[in-house]
Structure 1
Amino acid sequence: MRRRLINSTLAVVLVVIAVFGVSLVLVESRTISTSAQESVDSEALRLISVVDSRLLGEERITPGVLAEQVDSSRYARVEIPDRAPIEVGERPSGSVIRSTATGEQGEKVTVEESGSAVTRELGRTLLIIGAVALLAIVSAVLLAVRQANRLASPLTDLAETAERLGSGDPRPRHKRYGVPELDRVADVLDSSAERIARMLTAERRLAADASHQLRTPLTALSMRIEEISVTEDLETVKEEAHIALTQVERLTDVVERLLTNSRDPRTGSAVVFDLDEVVKQQIEEWRPAYRSAGRAVVCSGKHGLRAVGTPGAVAQVLAALIENSLMHGGGTVALRTRVTGNQVVIEVTDEGPGVPADLGARIFERTISGRNSTGIGLAVARDLAEADGGRLELLQQQPPVFALFLSRVARKRKEPDRPVR
C-alpha cells in the first residue's frame, strides 16, 4: 500500500509538472526571444535618431561617436548615402538577432546581436524551472511517504488488533490515529473486543458455576445409585429410585437455571411455593453426608410458610450454604425459618469458628475463600437469590449466620430492560 500511494502521488506530480512545465518553457522561450528582439529594435531606433540629428546639425558621424550609443556586445552598421559605411563592434556569427531602421535622409542603420545570449538566458530559465520541478518532485515524494506511513501504519495496527481478537485476546487498544475513517474502524474493533470479552467472561463464569453447582447433585445422585446397587429390598430400591428421580429433576432445574442466568441474570420464574418442602428436601439430601462426617443437620422455626421465588433456585442457595457449613464449619448445622415484616427468612448457622474478620465484607465475591476452595459457591448463591428478588446476607461472623430473605407476597415482576439496538 505504501508503494502504491507513493507511486500514485508521484505520477500526479509528474503529470502536473509535464503539463505546466512544458507550457512554462514555451512561454518563457517566446518571452525571452521577444524581449531580445525588442531590445535590438529599440537600439536600432535610438541609433537612427542619433544619426538623423547629427546629419541635420551637419555634425561629424564617426565610429567613436556611434560606439558610445551601441552596446558593446552588439554590432552596428550605418549606411549613409554617398558615404562609406560605418561599422561599430564585431559582427556576430551563427544565429543572429537583427533589426534595421531607415532615417529621414535615406540613411540606414542595422543592429545585430548574437543569438547565444538568448540561448544562455533560455538555459538559465530552463535550469530554474528544472530546479523547481525537482524540488516539487522531492517534496511530493516526502509528502507521499509521510501520508503513506500515516495511512498504512494504522491499517497495520488494525490488522494486528483483528488478529488478536481472532486468537482469543479481546483486550481493546483504545488507540486512535486522527483519521476519521480509521478511527471509526478502531471504535468498531474496540466495541467488538469488549463484547467478545464479556462473552468469554460469561462462558467462563457459566463453566465455573456449572462445575460447582452440578458437583453436589451428581455426588448425591451417585450415592443413591450405589445404595440401589447394593440393596436387594424392593421397597428400598423404589424409595431410593424415587429420591434419585427427584434429584435428576433438580439437576435438570440447575442446568436450566444456569443457562437462563448466563443469558440474562434478571430473568426468573418466581412462584409462590411451600418453603417447608424445600427445607425438608435439603435436610434429607444432606443428612447422609453429615452423618458420614459425624455431624448433624437439623431444622427449626416457624412452619407452614409460603414464599415467593423459584423452588429450584432456593434449593440451590440452601445447598450452597449447607455445603459451605460442611466444608468450613463445625458441629451441628441448623436451618431456622422465621418471618420479619413481609419477608420470610431462612437462617443457616453452625458451631464452627465462623468467617474470618478480613473476609466478612467480601465473602460473597468470586474467588474469595477462607480455604482452598473455588470461592464461587456463595457468589452463585447470591446471584440466584437476587434473580428471584431476594437477597443473601451474612448476619453474623462468629458463629456464622447466613440468611436468605424471600418475599411472602407475590409482586408484579418488572419487565427487563430491552437492549438498545
Structure 2
Amino acid sequence: MRKRIVMLATMAAVVATTLFGVPLGVFVARYYWDDERTELERVATAAALAVANDLSGSPRLPVVPTDTTIGLYTPTGELRAGSGPILADRAVRRATSGEIEETDAEDTIVVAIPIMDEGRLLGVMRAMKSHKSATIRTAFTLLTMLGSAVLAVALTWLLARRMAARLARPLEDLSATAKVLGEGDFTVRTGRSGVPEIDSVGTTLNTTAQRIGETLDRERAFSANASHQLRTPIAGLRLQLEGALESPGDPRPAISKGIAAVDRLERTVNDLLTLTRDLNSTPVADLGALLDDVETTWREPLASSGRSLEINVHGAPAPRAAEAGVRQILNVLVDNAYTHGSGTVRVSARDAGGALAIDVSDEGAGVRPGVDVFTKRVNVHNGHGIGLALARSLAEADGGRLMHRDGSTFTLLLPSAMESADHPR
C-alpha cells in the first residue's frame, strides 16, 4: 500500500509539472526571442534617428552593445558606414520597400529599418545580433524550471512517503491485530491513529474482540460453574434414588421426588445457560418465588443432615436483577453454609435503605481470619472453591454487591425495582 500511494503521488506530481512546465517553457523561449528582436529593433531605430539628419555628410553611427553590430546602407544597397555585408542582404533589400524587416539566420537575428523623408528612401539601417544571448537566457531559465520541477517531485515523494506511512501504519496495525485475533488472543486492542475513518474501524474491531472474548470467557466459565452448581442437584437426586432403593413399598413418592430433583437440575442448567448468554435485560425478580425455590431445594438435604432451614422476609422490596443470577447466588450461599457450616441455616430478606439485603448465615464458626473467600481456587476440598467467586461476579453483573460480614454471615445487596425506576441506569 505504501508503494502504491508513493507511486501515485509521484506520478501525479510528474504529470502536473509536465503539463505546467512544458507550455511555460515554450512561452519563456518565445518571450526571450521576442525580447531580443524588440531590443534589436530599438537599437536599429535609435541608430537610424541618430544619422537621419546627417546623411548628406559623413554620418557617425552611435555606440551600440558589444554583441550588436549596425550598418548604414544606401538606397541602392551599398554599405556606407558601420559593419555588415558590403552588398545588401535579403533584409536590407526588403527594407528598401519602406517596411521594417526582421529575419533569422542560422545563428543571428537581423533587423533592417528604412530611413524615410517625406516618402523618399534615404537609406537603410541594418542591426545584427547573435542568438547566443537569447539561447543562454532561455537555457538558464529552462534549467531553473527543470530543477524546480525535480525539487517539487522530490518533495512530493517525501511527503507521499510520510503520508503513506501515516495511512499505512494504522492499517498495518489493524491487520496485525486481526491476525492476533484470528490466533485466539482477544485481549489485543488497536490504538488511535488520528484518522477518523481508520479509528472508526479500529473501535469496531476492538468492540468485536471484546465481545468475542467475553463470549468465550462466559463459555469457559460455564463448564467451571456448571460443575459447581450442578453438584448439589445431582447429589439430591442421588439421595432420592438411593432412598427409593432402600425403602420397600410404593416407589411413587420417591419417583416424584426424583422428578422434582430433575426439574431443579433442569432449571439450574437453564439458569447457567441464561447467564452464559449474558442477556442485557434486567427484569424485576420475584423475591417470593426465589425464596420458595431455596426452601424447596435445600430443606430436605439439610434435614437429612439433621439441620434446619429458616427463611424470613422483613418488608423486603423486589430486586431489579436477573432472576437466574439471584437464584444461583442464593444456591451458592446456602450450599456454602450446608457444606462448611453447621446448625440452622437462616436466609433473611430485608430493606436496606431502598435496596434489598439478603443475609445467609449458619451456626458454624465461619471463615477463618485472613482467608479471602472470594478468591477462585481450583482445590475445593478444604475451601470455598469457585462458588463464592462466581456468586460475587453474578452480583456485580446486576449492579449489586456480595459481602462477607462476619463469621458465617454473607450479605447480598441488590438494587430494588423502585430505586432503579427513580435512577435509571
Superposition TM-score tier, normalisation by shorter sequence? 0.7 to 0.9
Distance 1:114 1:221, change over 3 A: same
Q: CA deviation at 1:13?
A: 1.9
Q: CA deviation at 1:335?
A: 2.4
2:34 aligns with 34
Aligned residue identity for 1:242: S
Aligned residue identity for 2:31: T
2:82 aligns with 87
1:350 aligns with 2:350: no
The answer to whether the 8 Å contact 2:41/2:111 transfers is yes
C-alpha distance in 2 between matches for 1:151 and 1:99: 62
> Where in structure 2 are the equivalents of 1:17-416 lying within 5 Å?
17-55=17-55, 58=57, 60-61=58-59, 66=61, 69-80=63-74, 85-88=80-83, 94-104=106-116, 106-171=122-187, 173=189, 175-226=191-242, 228=244, 231=246, 233-235=248-250, 237-261=251-275, 262-264=278-280, 266-267=282-283, 270=286, 272=288, 279=295, 282-286=298-302, 290=305, 296-299=306-309, 319-325=331-337, 327-329=339-341, 332-336=342-346, 347-352=360-365, 354-359=366-371, 363=373, 373=383, 375-381=385-391, 394-397=404-407, 400-402=408-410
Larger mean Cα displacement after TM superposition, 100-109 or 332-341: 332-341
Aligned residue identity for 1:258: L
Classify the secondary structure of the residue corresponding to 2:218: helix
CA deviation map 1:355-410 (0-9, x unaligned): 23445xx645766999865643235556788999999764532xx2346799xxx9
Distance 1:43 1:394, change over 3 A: closer
CA deviation map 1:303-324 (0-9, x unaligned): 9xx9989999888656534542
C-alpha distance in 2 between matches for 1:319 and 1:376: 13
Classify the secondary structure of the residue corresponding to 1:184: helix
TM-score by length of 1: 0.74
Q: CA deviation at 1:36?
A: 0.6
CA deviation map 1:324-348 (0-9, x unaligned): 245544xx43224779789997753
C-alpha distance in 1 between matches for 2:252 and 2:299: 20
The answer to whether the 8 Å contact 1:382/1:392 transfers is yes
Larger mean Cα displacement after TM superposition, 316-325 or 46-55: 316-325
C-alpha distance in 1 between matches for 2:173 and 2:344: 60
C-alpha distance in 2 between matches for 1:317 and 1:189: 34
Distance 1:368 1:53, change over 3 A: farther
Q: CA deviation at 1:219?
A: 3.1
C-alpha distance in 2 between matches for 1:89 and 1:120: 24
The percentage of aligned residue pairs carrying the same residue is: 28
Q: CA deviation at 1:34?
A: 0.4
2:101 aligns with none
CA deviation map 1:209-238 (0-9, x unaligned): 322101222233235445556x48344x54
C-alpha distance in 2 between matches for 1:164 and 1:177: 19
C-alpha distance in 2 between matches for 1:183 and 1:350: 58
Distance 1:312 1:189, change over 3 A: closer
C-alpha distance in 1 between matches for 2:301 and 2:284: 25
C-alpha distance in 1 between matches for 2:67 and 2:323: 118
2:91 aligns with none
2:95 aligns with none
TM-score by length of 2: 0.73
Q: CA deviation at 1:4?
A: 2.3
The answer to whether the 8 Å contact 1:273/1:307 transfers is no
Larger mean Cα displacement after TM superposition, 25-34 or 204-213: 204-213
Distance 1:245 1:413, change over 3 A: farther
- Structure 1 residues not aligned, in runs of 5+: 291-295
C-alpha distance in 2 between matches for 1:81 and 1:340: 133
Q: CA deviation at 1:178?
A: 1.8
Classify the secondary structure of the residue corresponding to 1:241: helix
The answer to whether the 8 Å contact 1:265/1:387 transfers is no
Aligned residue identity for 2:257: I
The answer to whether the 8 Å contact 2:48/2:115 transfers is yes
Classify the secondary structure of the residue corresponding to 1:5: helix
The answer to whether the 8 Å contact 1:336/1:348 transfers is yes
C-alpha distance in 2 between matches for 1:44 and 1:127: 32
- Structure 2 residues not aligned, in runs of 5+: 87-103
Distance 1:152 1:372, change over 3 A: farther
Classify the secondary structure of the residue corresponding to 2:72: strand
